[in-house]
C-alpha cells in the first residue's frame, strides 16, 4: 500500500521497449536497482511501468543496450495536476477535500476495545461516555494516563489498562483478573440443614452439627437433615444446655425429576422465490441515505445488512458508515412436522436438559423420554432419576428453641 501511494505521488509512466537487445536492457535495470513492474511481451515488444525518477536514470542504459523507450501513458498526481491546472473549481474541490480530512483528523471517530471478556463493549463504552469520551470528541481532551487510572479505579477486576490514540482511533487494551481477589466472609449464623426436595439419602458427611437422618432414609421437603442444635449432657446424661452452630454437611439423595413439553403439529416455513434486491445505505452521524430498488410484489423480504466504517489507511477512520444491504424474497407456508423431526426435537430437548443438570454437578442415574401424539400437538414426557445435593440452610430462631427446651424440662 505504501509503495502504491509513493508511486502515485511521484508519478509513473507506461513504457514500450523495442530495439536490438531488450533483454540486456532489463538485466542492466536489475543491476542498477531500477524497479519495473507489470512486465508483458506484446506484439514484438515489451511493455512495463516505471517511476518518473527511475526513467530519468535509464538514458545511459538505453544507449548502451541499443533500445528505444516510448512513453504510452502518464499516471500519478503530478500528471493529474498538470492536466487539470486550468480547472479552478476542480482544484478547489480537491483542496476542500483535504482540508476536511485535516479537520476530521483532530477528532476520534473509532473506539476499539480489546481484552475485555467480563465487561462487555456496551458497558465500557457507556462508562467512557459518562466521562465525555465518545465518537466525535476532540483528541486534545483525551488524557490517556488519566483514562487508564480511571478505568482501573472504577473496575477493580481490571488489573492492566493501556490507552493510546492512533490516527482517529482510540485503542484501549485491558487485562482482567482471573483470580478471585478476596474470599467471601463465612456466615456463622446458627442454622439447620433441611431438605429442599424429597428423596432417599445416599450419602451424608457431617462437618458441623448433628445428623438427623442416615443413608437409606426417605426424606420429605423441609425435613431437618442436620441440626444446628448440639445438646450438652452432664455425667448423669441429663440435658443441661444446648449449643447452636452453623450446620455444615454434604448430603446427597436420590431424587426424581419429571418434565413435560409440547411440540406443535404444524410449523411455519419460509420458501425463497429466488428474487433478490441489493442496495446500500450511507450513514453520517444521525443522517442517512438509503439506496435500494423498490419492491413491486406483495411478498415478504428478508434483509441482511453488513456494516463497515470508512477508513483511510489503517487507523484514519472517518465518521461515515457504509451498510451493504441484501434482500431475499420469501413466502410463508404451513406444513406438518414429520415423525423424524419430532424425534429430533425431542432428543434435542432431552440433551439440553441433561447438559443443564450436568453443569450443576448432578449425577444422572436414569433418564427416559416418551413422545405421545395428541389431538392438538405432540407431548414430550421426560423422567430423570438423579443423585444430587439436597441440603439447604434454614436459620435457627434461638429464642424459640430455648422456649421449647424449657417446655421439655
Alpha-carbon dihedral angle through residues 235, 238, 243, 247, given to the nearest 10 degrees:
100
Which residues of the chain register pLDDT less than 50? Answer: 399-409
Q: How confident is the model at residue 405, as a pLDDT?
A: 45
Asked whether the CA dihedral 52, 57, 58, 60 is positive or negative, the reply is positive
Beta-strand ranges (E) seen in 8-131 are: 12-19, 37-42, 45-51, 67-75, 110-114
> Residue 2's pLDDT is what?
75
Please name which of 162, 159, 185, 184 lies closest in space to residue 172, comparing C-alpha atoms. 162
CA angle 173, 178, 181 (to 5 degrees): 115
Provide the pLDDT for residue 408. Answer: 47
Cβ–Cβ < 8 Å for 295, 365? no
| CA–CA separation, 108 and 167 (whole Å) | 8
Q: Indicate the DSSP class of residue 132.
A: T
Cα distance between residue 29 and residue 103, in whole Å: 43
Model pTM score: 0.55
Compute the distance between CA of residue 125 and CA of residue 140 in angstroms, rounded to an integer: 19
Give me the residue label for grid cell 485491558: 174
- In tens, the pLDDT along 44-63 reads 888 999 999 999 888 888 88
**Strands 169-176 and 110-114, how do they pair?**
parallel
User: CB under 8 Å to 33, separation ≥6 — which residues?
Assistant: none
Alpha carbons 74 and 372: distance in angstroms, whole number: 79
The C-alpha cell that represents 60 in the structure block: 545511459
269: buried, middle or exposed (CB in 10 Å: 19+, 13-18, 0-12)?
exposed
Q: Which domains does the chain have, with CATH numbers?
A: 2-81 (3.30.70.120), 110-176 (3.10.20.310), 191-253 (no CATH), 260-266+337-391 (no CATH), 268-336 (no CATH)
pLDDT at 316: 87
- How high is the pLDDT of residue 86? 78
Decide if 292 contacts 279 (C-beta within 8 A). Answer: yes
Nearest residue to 279 (alpha-carbon basis) of 296, 291, 295 = 291
DSSP category for residue 93: H
107 grid coordinates: 477528532
Cell digits of residue 64:
548502451
Sheet of strand 218-219: strand arrangement = 218-219, 199-208, 248-264, 377-389, 363-373
H helix or E strand, kind and range, residue 186: none
Find where cell 392438538 sits: 376
Phi, psi of 210 (to 5 degrees): -125, 120
Are 283 and 366 a contacting pair, CB within 8 Å? no
Instruction: Round to whole Å and give the CA distance between 409 and 239.
Output: 9
Q: DSSP letter at 292?
A: E
pLDDT of residue 206: 92
CB 279 within 8 A of CB 293: yes
pLDDT in tens, 5-35: 888 888 999 999 988 788 888 899 888 889 9
What is the DSSP secondary-structure string of 345-402?
A: HHHHHHHHHHHHHHHTTPEEEEEEEEEEE-SSEEEEEEEEEEEEE-EEEEE--HHHHH
Amino acid at each position: 500500500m505504501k509503495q502504491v501511494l509513493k508511486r502515485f505521488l511521484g508519478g509513473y509512466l507506461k513504457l514500450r521497449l523495442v530495439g536490438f537487445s531488450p533483454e540486456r536492457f532489463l538485466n542492466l535495470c536489475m543491476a542498477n536497482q531500477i524497479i519495473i513492474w507489470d512486465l508483458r511481451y506484446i506484439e514484438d515488444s515489451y511493455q512495463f511501468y516505471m517511476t518518473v525518477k527511475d526513467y530519468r536514470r535509464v538514458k545511459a542504459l538505453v544507449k548502451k543496450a541499443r533500445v528505444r523507450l516510448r512513453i504510452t501513458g502518464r499516471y500519478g498526481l503530478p500528471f493529474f495536476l498538470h492536466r487539470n491546472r486550468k480547472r479552478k473549481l476542480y482544484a478547489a474541490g480537491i483542496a476542500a477535500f483535504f482540508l476536511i480530512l485535516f479537520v476530521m483528523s483532530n477528532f476520534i471517530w473509532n473506539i476499539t476495545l480489546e481484552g475485555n471478556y467480563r465487561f462487555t463493549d456496551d458497558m465500557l463504552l457507556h462508562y467512557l461516555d459518562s466521562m465525555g469520551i465518545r465518537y466525535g470528541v476532540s483528541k486534545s481532551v483525551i488524557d490517556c494516563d488519566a483514562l487508564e487510572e480511571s478505568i482501573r479505579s472504577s473496575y477493580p477486576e481490571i488489573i492492566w489498562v493501556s490507552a493510546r490514540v492512533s490516527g482517529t482511533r482510540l485503542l484501549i487494551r485491558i487485562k482482567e483478573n482471573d483470580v478471585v481477589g478476596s474470599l467471601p466472609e463465612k456466615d456463622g449464623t446458627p442454622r439447620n440443614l433441611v431438605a429442599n426436595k424429597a428423596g432417599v439419602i445416599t450419602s451424608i458427611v457431617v462437618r458441623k452439627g448433628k445428623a438427623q437422618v442416615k443413608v437409606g432414609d426417605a426424606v420429605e421437603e423441609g425435613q431437618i437433615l442436620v441440626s444446628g442444635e448440639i445438646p450438652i449432657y452432664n455425667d448423669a446424661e441429663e440435658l443441661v444446655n444446648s449449643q447452636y452452630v452453623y450446620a455444615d454437611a454434604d448430603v446427597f439423595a436420590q431424587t426424581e425429576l419429571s418434565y413435560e413439553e409440547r411440540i406443535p403439529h404444524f410449523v411455519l416455513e419460509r420458501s425463497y422465490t429466488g428474487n433478490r434486491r441489493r442496495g446500500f445505505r450511507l450513514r453520517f452521524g444521525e443522517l442517512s441515505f438509503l439506496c435500494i430498488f423498490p419492491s413491486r410484489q406483495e411478498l415478504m423480504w428478508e434483509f441482511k445488512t453488513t456494516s463497515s466504517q470508512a477508513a483511510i489507511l489503517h487507523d484514519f477512520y472517518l465518521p461515515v458508515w457504509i451498510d451493504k444491504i441484501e434482500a431475499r424474497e420469501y413466502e410463508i407456508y404451513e406444513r406438518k412436522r414429520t415423525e423424524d423431526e419430532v424425534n429430533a426435537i425431542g432428543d434435542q430437548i432431552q440433551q439440553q436438559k441433561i447438559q443443564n443438570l450436568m453443569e450443576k454437578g448432578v449425577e444422572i442415574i436414569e433418564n427416559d423420554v416418551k413422545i405421545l401424539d395428541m389431538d392438538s400437538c405432540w407431548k414430550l414426557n421426560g423422567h430423570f432419576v438423579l443423585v444430587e445435593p439436597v441440603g439447604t440452610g434454614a436459620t435457627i430462631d434461638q429464642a424459640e428453641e430455648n422456649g421449647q427446651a424449657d417446655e421439655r424440662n
